[in-house]
């Protein structure tokens, strides 16, 4: 229980840092990240082609 | 016993590179090409005495191409009559400024000095950094990169690559902006991002190496770009490779997840131990093989790839000497305009014949034999265009109308007098590329090229689903372009040597 709470806390911190980092980007950089993020879910299946 | 050791589907530069090298290894090799000539996008055709390059208009990275010829016991220089292009380009900026970009780095620096003296030191810093990357990454273009292990091995063997890791996580535009402040210098380095099929803000930063690589030499092949594939064909045939033109492959024969040969359009079957495909990977797996032969994860993966953009070309034969300064002119716009073009014109599926930028290739400047006496050849590489137009109009139907508009635009902005001197005009649209080259949606770079589609995430050179099947060409690693597709042929050959 304690362990999973710690993992959740760490994941929360990482998500927070990513969010803050993303907010620092200009619009153009955000579009770059958004386009990559849109395709990230397909990277695992693409690895098997 | 199979009819052939190897069947290669498609005589593009990737297919011919693999076919010639496999034949040179003593394998009985047959190359099947659906079209009437070799080369795919790197080819040349004739109309009324004018010789036009179909797609590819310049030869970069001659060292990489030369390696393929060396494996065939010869050299690029011995096989192809190369004409050096110096200046590499004349840059025609949006504000009307014309800047030559000489081949020598120092001479290019002097040209930059004339418009932005403060950027000269940045130019050298950019060249040094990117040359370092090019040297570190050289092996990458010849590595199979099939698995995560291959990638890990590459980075372990080239630890200096870690220095360049940021290039994988930022855009082309970020890299150029980091080095340069002057808007005109930035603009002069902008267009090359379309060589990988993406606008500056979406293309990965590692491709900012392209303008630097150009200074290793940019060439044209005497007689047209078909000189390169014809040379590969000649070397292959000398080694015993057989080639059949006008032969369309309808299906790849697969039994128990092993490639056994091909079925032609007329129903004839030709068997082989190994099949090498130089067709678009998405078309290969979904149409020629069939998804029923693929594991479910591979099925999801292959369907997820997006086609790269298509770029229409306008082939012009003219009866005057066009007022251009060099073989290649890059009609550029600032990076922000290229991004706006992407989001406001290309993505909403528009094409504006009166808002153009791209490459003007005056090929008869280097090789007058491409046109009748006192005539010239100009090939315009236009702005990217959608396969399906938003207005629903057929590309075939609007061809005459937009041809006229494009000529008028270039007459006004880049080539004065053009409109009244055109003798032959032929426009190739995305539909034409699809019809003539069997490249789906006319996508000349096959599949989109960003980090989620590259290296181990691009369809593998050695199929992970079908035994005995190998991929070459723009849709496998290292991607689209003449030197890279030739490199894909070398990679496939090496893999076949190892596994078959």
State the 10-residue block means of pLDDT for chain A, 49 residues long: 85 90 92 93 96
Which residue from B58, B46, B167 is spatially nearest to B483, judged by alpha carbons?
B58
Quickly tell me which residue has 């040969």 as its tokens. Answer: B261
The answer to whether B297 contacts A45, with C-beta atoms less than 8 Å apart, is: yes
Query: pLDDT tens-digit profile of B223-256?
Result: 999 999 999 999 999 999 999 999 999 999 999 9
Which 3-state string (H, E, C) describes chain B? CCCEEEEEECCEHHHHHHHHHHHHCCCCEEEECCCCCCECCCCEEEECCEEEECCCCCECCHHHHHHHHHHCCCCHHHHCCEEECCCCEEEECCCCCEEEECCCHHHHHHHHHHHCHHHHHHHHHHHHHHHHHHHHHHHHHHCCCCCHHHHHHHHHHCHHHHHHCHHHHCEHHHHHHHHCCCHHHHHHCCHHHHHHCCCCCCCEHHHHHHHHHHHHCCEEECCCCCHHHHHHHHHHHHCCCEEECCCCEEEEEEECCEEEEEEECCCCEEEEEEEEECCCHHHHHHHHHCHHHCCHHHHHHHHHCCECCECCEEEEEECCCCCCCCCEEEECCCHHHHHHHHHHHHCCCCCCCCCCCEEEECHHHHCHHHCCCCCEEEEEECCCECCCCCCCCCHHHHHHHHHHHHHHHHHHHCCCCHHHHEEEEEEECHHHHHHHHCCHHHCCCCECCCCCCCHHHCCCCECCCCECEEECCCCCCCCCCHHHHHHHHHHHHHHHHHHC
Is B295 in the A-facing interface, judged by CB distances under 8 Å?
Answer: yes
Above 90 in pLDDT, residue B87?
yes
Is B277 in the A-facing interface, judged by CB distances under 8 Å?
Answer: no
User: Average of pLDDT values for B351-357?
Assistant: 96
Which residue from B150, B256, B206, B134 is spatially nearest to B494, judged by alpha carbons?
B150
Among B204, B206, B300, the residue to mutate for chain A (most A Cβ within 10 A) = B300
Chain B from 397 to 416: CB within 8 A of any A CB? none
Q: For residue B340, what pLDDT is reported?
A: 97
Structure tokens given for A34: 């958004």
Q: For residue B225, what pLDDT is reported?
A: 97
**B131 close to B105: Cβ distance less than 8 angstroms:** no
Quickly tell me which residue has 């989109």 as its tokens. Answer: B448
Is B344 in the A-facing interface, judged by CB distances under 8 Å?
Answer: no
Judging contacts by C-beta atoms under 8 Å, the chain B residues touching residue A36 are 450-452
Q: For residue B466, what pLDDT is reported?
A: 97
What ipTM was assigned to the predicted interfaces of this complex?
0.91
Torsion of CA B123, B126, B128, B130, to 10 degrees: -140
Confidence of residue B337 (pLDDT cuts 50, 70, 90): very high
User: Average of pLDDT values for B308-321?
Assistant: 96
User: Average of pLDDT values for B96-107?
Assistant: 95
Confidence of residue B102 (pLDDT cuts 50, 70, 90): very high
Percentage of residues of chain B with pLDDT beyond 70: 100
Helix intervals (H) in chain A: 2-24, 27-39, 43-47
**B275 close to B259: Cβ distance less than 8 angstroms:** yes
Structure tokens given for B214: 């150009």
Q: Which among B452, B459, B460 has CB closest to A36?
A: B452
Q: For residue B137, what pLDDT is reported?
A: 87
What is Dmax (Cα atoms) for chain A? 42
Q: How close is the nearest chain A Cα to the Cα of B456, in Å?
A: 6
Above 90 in pLDDT, residue B158?
no
Taking one residue from A and the other from B, the number of pairs with CB-CB distance under 8 angstroms is 65
Q: For residue A29, what pLDDT is reported?
A: 93
Nearest chain B residue to A37 by CA distance is B452
Using DSSP, state whether A1 is helix, strand or coil.
Answer: coil
Q: What is the mean pLDDT of chain B?
A: 95
Is B171 in the A-facing interface, judged by CB distances under 8 Å?
Answer: yes
Q: Which among A31, A42, A48 has CB closest to B452?
A: A42
Report the range of poorest mean pLDDT among B135-144, B399-408, B455-464.
B135-144
The answer to whether B460 contacts A49, with C-beta atoms less than 8 Å apart, is: yes
**B460 close to B301: Cβ distance less than 8 angstroms:** no
Q: For residue B477, what pLDDT is reported?
A: 93
Quickly tell me which residue has 């508009």 as its tokens. Answer: B405
The answer to whether A42 contacts B456, with C-beta atoms less than 8 Å apart, is: no
Structure tokens given for B50: 């004018």
User: Average of pLDDT values for B19-28?
Assistant: 98
Residues near B322 by Cβ (< 8 Å), separated by ≥ 6? B362, B376, B378, B415, B417, B418, B421
The answer to whether B201 contacts A43, with C-beta atoms less than 8 Å apart, is: no
Q: For residue A3, what pLDDT is reported?
A: 83
Q: What are phi and psi of B236, to 5 degrees?
A: -65, -45
Count the Cβ atoms, other than its own, within 10 Å of residue B178. Answer: 16
User: Average of pLDDT values for B126-144?
Assistant: 90
Query: pLDDT tens-digit profile of B462-482?
Result: 999 999 999 999 999 999 899
User: Average of pLDDT values for B296-317?
Assistant: 96
Which residue from B230, B311, B225 is spatially nearest to B43, judged by alpha carbons?
B225
The answer to whether B458 contacts A47, with C-beta atoms less than 8 Å apart, is: no
Is B465 in the A-facing interface, judged by CB distances under 8 Å?
Answer: yes
Q: For residue B138, what pLDDT is reported?
A: 83
| CA dihedral sign, ordered B297, B299, B304, B310 | positive
Above 90 in pLDDT, residue B396?
yes
Q: How close is the nearest chain B Cα to the Cα of A1, in Å?
A: 34
Structure tokens given for B480: 């689209």
Q: For residue B154, what pLDDT is reported?
A: 87
Q: How close is the nearest chain B Cα to the Cα of A8, in Å?
A: 26
Judging contacts by C-beta atoms under 8 Å, the chain A residues touching residue B295 are 48
Structure tokens given for B467: 């035994």
Percentage of residues of chain B with pLDDT beyond 90: 89
**Helix B482-499 / helix B13-24 crossing angle, nearest 10 deg:** 40
| CA dihedral sign, ordered B188, B54, B199, B338 | positive
Is B464 in the A-facing interface, judged by CB distances under 8 Å?
Answer: yes
Query: pLDDT tens-digit profile of B257-283?
Result: 999 999 999 999 999 999 999 999 999
Q: For residue B139, what pLDDT is reported?
A: 83
Q: How close is the nearest chain B Cα to the Cα of A25, in Å?
A: 11
Indicate the pTM of the whole model. Answer: 0.94
Above 90 in pLDDT, residue B355?
yes
Is B453 in the A-facing interface, judged by CB distances under 8 Å?
Answer: yes
Q: How close is the nearest chain A Cα to the Cα of B217, in Å?
A: 31
Judging contacts by C-beta atoms under 8 Å, the chain A residues touching residue B302 are 49
Q: For residue B143, what pLDDT is reported?
A: 87
Radius of gyration of chain A (CA): 15
Confidence of residue B427 (pLDDT cuts 50, 70, 90): very high
Count the Cβ atoms, other than its own, within 10 Å of residue B325. Answer: 14
Q: For residue B290, what pLDDT is reported?
A: 97
What is Dmax (Cα atoms) for chain B? 69
Above 90 in pLDDT, residue B287?
yes
**B19 close to B235: Cβ distance less than 8 angstroms:** no
């Amino acid at each position: 229980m304690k362990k999973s709470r710690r993992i959740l806390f760490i994941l929360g911190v990482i998500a927070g840092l990513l969010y803050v980092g993303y907010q620092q980007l200009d619009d153009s950089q955000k579009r770059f990240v958004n386009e990559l993020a849109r395709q990230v879910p397909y990277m695992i299946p693409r690895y098997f082609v | 016993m199979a009819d052939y050791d190897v069947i290669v589907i498609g005589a593009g530069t990737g297919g011919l590179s693999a076919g010639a090298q496999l034949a040179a290894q003593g394998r009985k090799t047959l190359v099947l090409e659906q079209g009437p000539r070799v080369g795919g996008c790197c080819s040349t055709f004739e109309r009324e005495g004018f010789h036009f390059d179909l797609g590819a208009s310049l030869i970069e990275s001659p060292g990489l191409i030369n390696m393929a010829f060396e494996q065939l016991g010869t050299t690029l220089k011995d096989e192809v009559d190369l004409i050096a292009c110096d200046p590499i380009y004349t840059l025609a900026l949006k504000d009307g400024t014309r800047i030559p970009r000489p081949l020598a780095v120092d001479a290019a620096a002097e040209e930059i000095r004339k418009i932005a003296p403060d950027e000269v030191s940045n130019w050298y810093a950019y060249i040094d950094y990117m040359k370092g990357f090019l040297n570190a990454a050289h092996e990458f273009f010849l590595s199979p990169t099939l698995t995560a292990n291959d990638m890990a091995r590459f980075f372990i063997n080239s630890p200096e690559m870690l220095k360049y890791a940021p290039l994988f996580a930022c855009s082309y535009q970020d890299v150029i902006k980091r080095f340069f402040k002057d808007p005109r210098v930035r603009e002069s380095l902008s267009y090359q991002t379309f060589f990988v099929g993406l606008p500056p803000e979406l293309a990965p930063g590692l491709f900012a190496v392209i303008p630097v690589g150009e200074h290793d030499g940019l060439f044209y092949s005497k007689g047209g770009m078909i000189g390169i594939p014809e040379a590969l064909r000649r070397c292959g045939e000398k080694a015993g490779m057989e080639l059949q033109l006008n032969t369309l492959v309808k299906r790849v024969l697969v039994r128990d997840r092993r490639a056994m040969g091909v079925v032609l359009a007329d129903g004839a079957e030709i068997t082989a131990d190994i099949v090498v495909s130089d067709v678009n990977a998405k078309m290969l797996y979904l149409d020629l093989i069939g998804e029923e032969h693929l594991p479910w994860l591979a099925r999801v993966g292959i369907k997820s790839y997006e086609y790269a953009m298509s770029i229409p070309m306008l082939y012009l034969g003219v009866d005057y000497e066009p007022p251009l300064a060099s073989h290649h002119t890059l009609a550029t716009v600032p990076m922000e305009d290229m991004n706006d073009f992407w989001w406001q014109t290309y993505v909403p599926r528009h094409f504006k014949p009166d808002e153009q930028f791209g490459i003007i290739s005056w090929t008869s400047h280097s090789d007058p034999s491409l046109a009748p006496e006192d005539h010239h050849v100009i090939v315009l590489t236009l702005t990217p265009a959608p396969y399906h137009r938003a207005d629903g109009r057929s590309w075939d139907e609007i061809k005459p109308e937009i041809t006229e508009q494009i000529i008028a635009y270039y007459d006004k902005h880049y080539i004065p007098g053009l409109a009244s001197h055109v003798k032959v005009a032929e426009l190739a649209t995305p539909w034409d590329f699809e019809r003539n080259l069997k490249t789906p949606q006319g996508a000349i770079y096959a599949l989109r090229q960003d980090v989620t589609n590259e290296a181990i995430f691009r369809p593998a050179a050695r199929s992970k689903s079908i035994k005995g099947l190998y991929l070459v060409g723009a849709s496998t690693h290292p991607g689209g372009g003449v030197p890279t597709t030739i490199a894909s042929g070398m990679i496939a050959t090496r893999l076949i040597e190892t596994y078959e």
